[in-house]
Structure 1
Amino acid sequence: MHPIRFEAVQRHGVHVFHHLPGDDVPVSRHWPGLSEEWPEGRTPFSEWAVNNNNTEEVAVYVGLVWRLTAGLARYAIPAYYRDDAARTLGREPVLVDWEYDVDAERLTAESRDNGFVPGRSALTLRPPPTAWEVENAGRAGLFPLATPRDLVSALHAVIFDASSEITVFAVPPGAERFERLTAALRGPVRPVLGDVLGDDGIFLDLTIGSDAGNHDSVVVASCTDLRGPLTALAADCAQRIESYEQRLHELRDVTDFLRMMPELAGVDLDAS
């Protein structure tokens, strides 16, 4: 087990926290069944975006993101694969002009964090892209997330690449607050994180490295100092990981594994 730790910095009045595990991802002992053939039906990947490359730490990250933003309305930008995310989530996004960018090949917070960059979306050749997809290829998609399963579905759209990235904006519920968020992510001027968040929002960027030389990270930002809640949440994650690793011998098959994942993540996939 490698405890989750956050480096804290303050940038233009915003409290920013970086978790940079490098090669020491939070879960150090893994279920051997992740490298075996799975039966048809519910699998570690279908349920938690976990496989033998991006292992149980993905479930830990999903739980961390969801629990930190409890009580807020959550909206996500799956980087680059906007239209794939629309298919996996089964809904159309709200189009915005900017998305966040973290370079998974870099090792330090300063070199990884590129801030907001112009949005973009991949165009698939088969089936041929629609006229709408071509016209809006230079825009990102903002999707509401109702449950942790939605966050996993968004991961399904991006996680097959060398690295994958999802940015979550959590704000108080309501149409007016959502309109403020989308307005801050539109227009020709590069957004400032503090303006996007306002006094009441939480920003999280989850980057997952899959290929060699690409590394995970979690970035958290808020105008409120979240050091206390993050420390408590990280300690709870550590306890859950320790318990999971001690009980690995109990996992006989995929059903046992899936039964254990909510305990590791700290969330039920279908809970709001």
Structure 2
Amino acid sequence: MRASGAVTRSTLRQQIADALRDEVLAGRLQPGREFTVKQIAEQYGVSATPVREALFDLSAQGLLESDQHRGFRVHQFTVADYRAMVEARALVMDGVIRDVFRGQSPSPARQTAYRDALVSVRRRSEEAARAARGGDLDILIGYDLRFWRELGALVGNTYISDFLHRLRVQAWVFAVPYLRGDADVRAWLWNGHAELVTAITHRDREALRAVIDAYNGHALSWADRLAAGEPAAAGSGQRTPTAEETADPARPEG
């Protein structure tokens, strides 16, 4: 009975962590938002223990900050943080690409396993790309994270896969408040998932590197835009006025 209770509590802890992560990714829990264990426990109708454990799990993942006296706060990533995430991701992916193409071609059995796994990944890629082209942020985030998670599993190194997944969750947490207020959101949602899968399927090193470079370059260009003040603040959907606009009192706002 005791073991069963431990499994139940562990499952509840994970469910709460997943639910809160989804709230942050959906933008319903904004960066800087503060809350207590008691508030979350009452919201979900559960005891404080699994909530506290879930919140500490999310803190360990870099999504929350813990304050002994005030509870927890949704972490607020900066543009510099986001840029560092992209650069770290690029370095790791470069190593993965070299490893995938190193040495002789994989055995027929491994090729078959790859093809079978890529069937599911390709479906994810098509859904993610469709959501990106349509500007459907909620659908895109879910498919994009699952796409990269499943693709990362093909590497066969859970440490690398987990690290990259954590970076992508953090990147989405940073991006969501900006993207939801951006009228040009579709222009900033990468949709090259299918091209990436095609390059991997054909073991085309140059095509794979080109897609990954475009993926990271796209993200860095968006970071440059944010650093320049467009949009001016998370969720504002507005750009920073120029000096000439600011000096003209007759110019309407917005």
- The structure with the greater share of residues assigned to helix is 2
TM-score (norm 1): 0.23
TM-score (norm 2): 0.25
Q: Which has the higher contact order (CA 8 A, sep 6+)?
A: 1
Choose 1 or 2 for highest CA Rg: 2
- The structure with the greater share of residues assigned to strand is 1
